[in-house]
């Protein structure tokens, strides 16, 4: 279907409806009569909520009142405290979390924060002052929770902490090896627990030839997949099977079946599996459970290289 056709169809539907009444008087009337709503809440409460949210998700196992978490970063020790009152306040306002935009204040520039987006509870950003900043200065990663299991989110947050504080960095030996092979690039980690590494399927997919848009789709299990885009190294996302199917509907993917409910999650899997995606060069580093860390490089985005890479990844996972 051509883009023009698609635009025509959607535009036709959208333009079918039109506003027939001027609402400016009604809005102005509302503005003049209403009382100030909760959006005027003092901003300084919000960083507390940010910190509280971080703790709720990242230390859920210790979800009790008055939690103190200390994270080590070199010589600095930072502590974030959530008091009982804040915890209760957070719980009480759970349904309204979407209402406030949370912006880390300068007071929290030395904290790792989970940031809730304006009125949108499906989008969280990790604010991590210790990892390279993007154009906005602080927000380094976002997670779309509509496609995310709780465990994945938790894993994601912990991963950010790990990156920040180096808990999951490769061993020095591994780093030396990587450095020799890939000019010492920094590596992003993505860690997932899964049942059977041999069942991982790597798919190579080219979304848009004209724009050199490439993607490797990794089917993790019956309900999840991870996609890696070559367009922006370091970018990955976890998608639910429905979307994974959408990714792959034009390819033959065998033995994917829906589970009866959502009870089975990634956290049920026990074997450790890591995928590292390089930031600087184009390479994938893989370390299945009980196997040696191995790096694969693809110096350019040609289809041939990507297909070879997918094949090689599959071969190694099934060795």
Q: What's the closest the beta carbon of residue 75 comes to other proteins, in angstroms? A: 33
Residues 38-77 that bind other proteins (CB under 8 A): 39-40
- Which residue number, 71 or 158, has a Cβ lying nearer to other proteins? 158
Which of helix, strand or coil describes residue 118?
A: coil
Residues sharing a CB contact under 8 Å with residue 73, sequence separation 6 or more, in sequence order: 130, 164, 165, 166
109 binds other proteins (CB under 8 A): no
Cα–Cα distance, 100 to 118 (Å, whole number): 6
9 binds other proteins (CB under 8 A): yes
- List the helix and strand counts (H, then E) for the chain: 8, 13
Among residues 98, 131, 253, 256, which is the contact residue for other proteins, using CB under 8 A?
98
Cβ(65)–Cβ(120) under 8 Å?
no
Instruction: Build a one-symbol-per-residue string for 121-150: x at contacts with other proteins by CB under 8 A, - elsewhere.
Output: xxx-x-------------x--x-xxx-xxx
**Cα 104 to the center of its chain, rounded Å:** 19
Q: What's the closest the beta carbon of residue 6 comes to other proteins, in angstroms? A: 6
Cβ(49)–Cβ(102) under 8 Å?
yes
13 binds other proteins (CB under 8 A): yes
290 binds other proteins (CB under 8 A): no
190 binds other proteins (CB under 8 A): no
Instruction: Build a one-symbol-per-residue string for 228-257: x at contacts with other proteins by CB under 8 A, - elsewhere.
Output: -x-xx--x-x-----x--xx-xxx------
The helix-helix angle for 45-58 and 84-92 (nearest 10°) equals 90
């Amino acid at each position: 279907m051509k883009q023009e056709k698609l635009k025509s169809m959607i535009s036709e539907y959208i333009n079918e409806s039109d506003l027939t009444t001027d609402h400016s008087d009604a809005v102005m009337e509302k503005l003049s009569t209403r009382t100030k709503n909760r959006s005027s809440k003092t901003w300084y409460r919000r960083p507390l909520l940010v910190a509280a949210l971080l703790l709720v998700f990242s230390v859920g196992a210790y979800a009790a009142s008055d939690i103190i978490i200390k994270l080590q970063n070199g010589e600095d020790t930072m502590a974030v405290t959530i008091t009982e009152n804040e915890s209760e306040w957070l719980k009480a306002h759970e349904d309204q979390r979407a209402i406030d935009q949370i912006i880390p204040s300068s007071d929290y520039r030395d904290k790792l924060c989970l940031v809730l987006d304006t009125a949108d509870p499906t989008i969280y950003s990790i604010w991590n002052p210790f990892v390279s900043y993007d154009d906005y200065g602080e927000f380094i990663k976002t997670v779309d929770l509509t496609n995310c299991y709780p465990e994945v989110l938790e894993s994601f947050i912990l991963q950010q902490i790990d990156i920040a504080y180096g808990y999951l960095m490769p061993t020095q030996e591994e780093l030396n090896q990587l450095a020799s092979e890939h000019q010492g690039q920094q590596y992003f980690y993505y860690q997932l627990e899964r049942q059977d590494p041999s069942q991982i399927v790597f798919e190579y997919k080219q979304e848009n030839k004209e724009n050199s848009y490439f993607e490797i789709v990794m089917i993790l299990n019956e309900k999840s997949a991870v996609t890696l885009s070559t367009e922006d190294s370091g970018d990955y996302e976890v998608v639910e099977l429905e979307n994974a199917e959408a990714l792959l509907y034009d390819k033959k993917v065998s033995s994917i079946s829906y589970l009866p409910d959502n009870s089975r999650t990634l956290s049920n899997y026990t074997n450790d599996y890591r995928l590292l995606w390089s930031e600087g060069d184009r390479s994938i580093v893989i370390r299945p459970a009980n196997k040696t860390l191995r790096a694969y490089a693809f110096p350019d985005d040609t289809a041939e290289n990507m297909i070879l890479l997918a094949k090689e990844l599959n071969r190694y996972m099934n060795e």
